[in-house]
Amino acid sequence: MSQVVLGVSGGIAAYKACELLRLFTESGHAVRVVPTREALRFVGEPTWAALSGNPVSAEVWDGVHEVPHVRIGQEADLVVVAPATADVLAKAAHGLASDLLTNTLLTARCPVVFAPAMHTEMWEHPATRANVATLRERGSLVIDPAVGRLTGADSGRGRLPEPTEIFELCARVLAGRTTDLAGRHIVVSAGGTREAIDPVRFIGNRSSGLQGYALARTALARGARVTLVAANVALPDPAGAEVVRVESARELREAVVTAADAADAVVMAAAVADFRPSVSGDSKIKKTAREPDPIHLVKNPDILAELGERRRDGLLKPGVVIVGFAAETDDVLANGRAKLARKGCDLLVVNQVGAGLAFGTPDNAAVVLAADGEQVEIPRGPKEALAGTVWDLVSARLS
């Protein structure tokens, strides 16, 4: 059983830390909550004490005989501060010790994770940027806040990432498994492209982006820098990812090829339209009495195949790992092997469409085929689990 210290500082997102606390306790961790005085204005001491089953104080003056300002930090296996305000980041960066949490941060020798939440202006202020850089340099993990609705009617970067995402990262830290993708730049494409017929209509597909987003989140949790090229996805941005939004296959190609130049791995999880209407006018096609005009299709670029060619031409980073996805309905393995060879990628994740799997569902099952002959079966399970296996295989090829 690990000893987790959950530091909570004074932001409106303090209430979300209750859910994070529950995720820790329900997975068997002992949690000591150390709020700041300001955090207690948002969520009171009885809530933290009842949910954690441990005494709670913001002060160094309670239970002095147990020397809590030193002991709590020394005994911790992980300290996670969520939400971390600009103030607590500044204090931690400068080594101030003005309350129990900042004392704990100074005495802890275990991994420390900060999940900042604040208004965009505060997050982007040079002082906060410098403090975050200092903390990262010292080895703390500072998760970039998510983009979305903030306290009032405004929105932007600064939201606390979902408690499940913070928990996932912490669980990996506790298991000592975070760093295998640290320092790696990974490009993931997700979602499904739309090919315009006219300004209001398109040819699209059923891809939800769930698998690509799970890949991005799990890569971030393993320390990677992630560029996520998202085609028509209605999901919240994974905290810390650089998200490039695109619509059509040609836009997706531009974004992926640009980002791939310096990438260590590229994973093409997006469902790319193979064809697009040869013309898509600026005016809406009107319903007329006569028969409708047929839609003439032309081929889209094959982005995955192009990445393989660019690698052969020496235009990508040496050692880059290229991963494709293939949704098949028949002869799944035979079609998969042929596609792997045709596209020139290192790994091809082949999933069978139908039977309640793949599109829009939280579960997936697949077989990963590798160019070196390895074949790994991934049983039906959450898309995060499939993503984890993909990163294990990528990581093994990167090292």
CB of 218 to ligand CTP, least distance (A): 18
If the CB atoms of residues 326 and 369 are measured against ligand CTP, the closer one turns out to be: 326
Determine if 326 is a binding residue for ligand CTP (CB under 6 A): yes
Query: Nearer to ligand CTP by C-beta: 51 or 358?
Result: 358
Q: Does 393 bind ligand CTP (CB under 6 A)?
A: no
Distance from C-alpha of 322 to C-alpha of 345, rounded to nearest angstrom: 5
- Of 177 and 250, which CB lies nearer to ligand CTP in the complex structure? 250
Is residue 351 annotated as part of the catalytic site, yes or no? no
Q: Which is nearer to ligand CTP, 79 or 231 (CB)?
A: 231
Is residue 303 near ligand CTP by the rule CB under 6 A? yes
Question: Minimum distance between the CB of residue 224 and ligand CTP, rounded to whole angstroms?
Answer: 19
- The least CB distance from residue 256 to ligand CTP, in Å, is 8
DSSP alpha helix (H) spans, 248-351: 249-260, 303-312, 332-343
| Pick 103 or 193: Cβ nearer ligand CTP | 193
Tokens for 380? Answer: 């039906």
CA nearest to 191, candidates 245, 240, 263: 245
Instruction: Name the minimum Å distance from CB 359 to ligand CTP.
Output: 13
Asked if 394 and 368 count as a contact pair (C-beta separation under 8 A), the reply is no
CA–CA gap between residue 33 and residue 104 (Å, rounded): 11
Residues 6+ apart with CB under 8 A from 156: 119, 120, 147, 150
- List binders of ligand CTP among 228-267 (CB under 6 A): 249
The amino acid present at 161, given as its one-letter code, is P
User: Does 369 contact ligand CTP by CB under 6 A?
Assistant: no
Q: How far is the CB of 324 from ligand CTP (least distance, A)?
A: 4
The residues, any chain, with a CB within 8 Å of residue 192's CB and separated by 6 or more, are: 204, 205, 206, 207, 208, 209, 231, 232, 270, 271, 272, 273
User: 32 forms bridges with which residues in the sheet?
Assistant: 5
CB of 230 to ligand CTP, least distance (A): 13
190 binds ligand CTP (CB under 6 A): no
Nearest Cα residue to 33 out of 46, 49, 19: 49
Residue 43 as a binder of ligand CTP (CB under 6 A): the answer is no
Q: Which stretch binds ligand CTP (CB under 6 A): 25-33, 207-215, 324-332, 376-384?
A: 324-332
> What DSSP state is assigned to residue 64?
G
- Polymer length of the chain: 399
> Any idea what the Cα angle at residue 128 is, between residues 127 and 132, rounded to 5°?
120
Name the packing angle between helices 100-107 and 68-75 (round to 10°). Answer: 50
83 prior amide bond cis, ω within 30: yes
The Cα–Cα gap between 89 and 93 comes to 6
Instruction: Output 9 or 300, the one with its CB closest to ligand CTP.
Output: 300
Q: Which is nearer to ligand CTP, 73 or 344 (CB)?
A: 344
Nearest approach in angstroms of CB 368 to ligand CTP is 12
Considering 205, 300, 335, 351, which one is annotated as catalytic? 205
Separation of alpha carbons 276 and 377, rounded Å: 34
Binding mask 304-323 for ligand CTP (x = CB under 6 A): x-------------------
Q: Mask: binding to ligand CTP, 195-234, rule CB under 6 A, as x and -? A: ----------------------------------------
User: Shortest Cβ contact with ligand CTP: which residue?
Assistant: 303
- The residue behind tokens 């020397």 is 67
For position 324 contacting ligand CTP by CB under 6 A, the verdict is: yes
Scan for tokens 């820098």, then name that residue. 225
Q: By CB under 6 A, name the one of 42, 114, 213, 325 that touches ligand CTP.
A: 325
Taking alpha carbons only, the member of 218, 215, 194, 188 closest to residue 206 is: 194
**Which residues are annotated as catalytic?**
205
Question: Which positions touch ligand CTP (CB under 6 A)?
Answer: 249, 268, 270, 272, 274, 300, 302-304, 324-327, 343
